[in-house]
Amino acid sequence: MKKKSLALLMAAAMVLGLAGCGAKEEAAAPAETPKTEAPAEKTEAPAAPAANADGFYAGKTVEMIVPWGAGGGADVACRLICAEMEKELGCTIVINNVTGGGGSIGLAQLAEANADGMTYAYFANTDSNGDIMLQGVPYNKDSFAPVCKFAADPHIILASNASGITDLKGLIDAGDGKTLWGIGGAWTHWDFLKLEFQDATGASYKRMVYDGGASVITDIMNGDCTVGTPFVSEALAAIDAGEAVAIAITSAERIDACPDIPTVAELGYEGFESTMWRGFVAPAGTPEDAMREFADAAGAVCAKAEFVAAAAEAGVTVDYTGFDDFQTFYAENHESVKAYFEANKDM
């Protein structure tokens, strides 16, 4: 009996001790959240002076599903814009990274979520065709209500030093169907960029599918892969190090982060533009007023010069499309991706 009570006392002491440690941490790093164990963290405490204090979202907590891993391109872009949108909406946005299945697991979770305007998800070019491209995906184009688009990131076409390719002409000459073209994920925008490029130039390349942009760049550096199309933020280190050759950028105009790299369009393929857009969707049936308020907040953030600059530094090119325009954009994009996929799925 005595032993037992002693043990209980010690257990209590331990709990207190741990609580003490917690207190110490907070003192040591006041900038950190005290809620270290919370599974889904807040991006920021609710902004005190809410810009839209009487809006639908004022004082509420919104869940943002990012179907990709924390720290990746999608996640960084979402965290950047959501931190600012919290101030606009006067609410808290909790980012929830639900990974796996090429983004389909997170989107399946959104499709099943309540359509009450409190759940959104990050969305990109090819996601609305998930049910056609990946078997076993429980959602389709109509499971989502498109909200807005906030960014469109160009790719840089890189060639390996070992290949001897130094310009667009060399790249097209090498397009004999055997040259390896690295893809950063099956049926992501990388694949569609390759198809669009082949359509425009008449060249053809052999598809080599990786599990992410970083692996493609590594293999271009060591010469195992010949061509790849990473995003700007991923590619610049390799270009600066002289470990890979930048051929062209896929946006319509040159961008500030790398003004020396020419666009595909200005090298003789006028009108060529292929960017990966990033946007938000809600579950189908979400009240339109709520979605409009959400989209408008994103628009207000995207209009701020300092946000655009901060995003550019993180490799995100801000390009906002509002609620109404995005409805048509979403439908058109769906059809175009679908057409490309159906024409090429037997590759």
Partner 1 sequence: MENILIGFANVLQPMNLLICLGGLFVGVLFGALPGFSATMAVAIFVPFTYVMEPGAALLLLSALYCGGVYGGSIPAVLVGIPGTPASAPTAWEGKALVKKGEGGRALHLVTLASCFGGFWSSIALLVCAPLLAKIAKMVGQPEQMFVAIFGLSVVVMLAQDNLFKGCMVAFISLLLATFGQDPVEGFPRFTYGFSELTGGFSVVPVLIGLFSLPEVFKMLEDPFGKMTESGKVGSMKLRATDITNNIGNAIRSTIWGVVIGIIPAAGPDIAAFLCYNEAKKASKHPEEFGNGSPDGIVAAESGNNGVTGGSLIPLLTLGIPGSAPAAIFLGAMIIHGVRPGPTLFTQHADTVYTMIIGFALINLLMYFVGMFFCKCGSLILIIPKSILATVIVVLATVGTFATNKNMFDVWVMFAAGVIGYIMERNKFPTAPVALALLLGTTMEKSMSLTRTMYEGELHMVLTRPLALALLLLTVFSFAFPLIKIWRTNQKEKLRSND
Name residues contacting partner 1, limited to 125-154 (CB under 8 A). Answer: 133-138
Task: Choose the stretch contacting partner 1; rule: CB under 8 A; options: 97-105, 166-174, 263-271, 295-303.
Answer: 97-105
Indicate whether 44 belongs to the interface with partner 1 (CB under 8 A): yes
Site for partner 1 in 278-307 (CB under 8 A): none
243's tokens? 């470990």
**Would you say 142 and 155 are in contact if contact means Cβ atoms under 8 Å apart?**
no
184: burial class by Cβ within 10 Å (0-12, 13-18, 19+)?
Answer: buried
Task: Choose the stretch contacting partner 1; rule: CB under 8 A; options: 68-76, 165-173, 281-289, 291-299.
Answer: 68-76
Site for partner 1 in 231-270 (CB under 8 A): 233-234, 236-238, 240-243
Q: Which of 122, 123, 210, 294 binds partner 1 (CB under 8 A)?
A: 210
Indicate whether 331 belongs to the interface with partner 1 (CB under 8 A): no
Question: Closest separation between CB of residue 301 and partner 1, Å?
Answer: 15
Q: In terms of Cα–Cα distance, which of 123, 49, 118, 85 is closest to 299?
A: 85
The count of other CB atoms within 10 Å of the CB of residue 314 is 12
Per-residue contact track with partner 1, 155 to 194, x per CB under 8 A?
Answer: -------------------------x-----xx-------
Total interface residues for partner 1 by CB under 8 A: 80
Question: Closest separation between CB of residue 330 and partner 1, Å?
Answer: 22
Q: In terms of Cα–Cα distance, which of 48, 99, 50 is closest to 71?
A: 99
Q: Which of 85, 217, 246, 300 binds partner 1 (CB under 8 A)?
A: 217
Indicate whether 41 belongs to the interface with partner 1 (CB under 8 A): yes
- Considering the complex, state which of residue 252 and residue 257 has its C-beta at the smaller distance from partner 1: 257
Site for partner 1 in 6-25 (CB under 8 A): 7, 10-11, 13-14, 17-18, 21, 24-25
Q: Give CA–CA dist 65/301, Å, rounded.
A: 19
Question: Closest separation between CB of residue 69 and partner 1, Å?
Answer: 8
**Would you say 67 and 105 are in contact if contact means Cβ atoms under 8 Å apart?**
yes
Q: Give CA–CA dist 292/324, Å, rounded.
A: 9
**Would you say 57 and 82 are in contact if contact means Cβ atoms under 8 Å apart?**
no
- Considering the complex, state which of residue 46 and residue 322 has its C-beta at the smaller distance from partner 1: 46
Torsion angles phi and psi, residue 47, rounded to 5: -65, 135
Question: Closest separation between CB of residue 122 and partner 1, Å?
Answer: 15
In three-state secondary structure terms, 144 is: strand
Indicate whether 94 belongs to the interface with partner 1 (CB under 8 A): no
- Return the amino acid letter for 5: S
Indicate whether 215 belongs to the interface with partner 1 (CB under 8 A): yes
- Return the amino acid letter for 166: T
**Would you say 65 and 110 are in contact if contact means Cβ atoms under 8 Å apart?**
yes
DSSP H/E element including 17: helix 2-28
